[in-house]
Structure 1
């Protein structure tokens, strides 16, 4: 069962008013938008994030692994 908790956030009145107006225009509860933003922030800042985790898995499988004699050689192989 979901346990609900309260959270308070200090912000400028104008920011709150703008946020609430946009939420109302989109017919979305402000609390749901905040939860979505929190989930997005967590996902983007997890260590390792999803992209890093997939890159590590590929490296372990030997995929997308490059050997280069120097930085210029590596950049050339990568096309950058």
Structure 2
């Protein structure tokens, strides 16, 4: 394993994806990682907890992408 892959989470640059509910944040994370990292659904409130994906970003080094729950979710789940 590459030494960079062993970089502890606190020492990685955190790139946080924020935005309104169902605005494509999870789809963006999946596209950036080239993997099915986050669940994508047309149902608001699908992402309830942050989804973290550690990666090596060319030209930047070790990072963690963070997919967050959307704001403005007016569903029952969003109220919770």
Structure-1-length-normalised TM-score: 0.21
- Highest relative contact order (Cα 8 Å, sep 6+), 1 or 2? 2
Report the TM-score, using the length of structure 2 for normalisation: 0.21
Q: Hey, which of these two has a bigger chunk of strand by percent?
A: 2
Highest Rg: 1 or 2?
A: 1
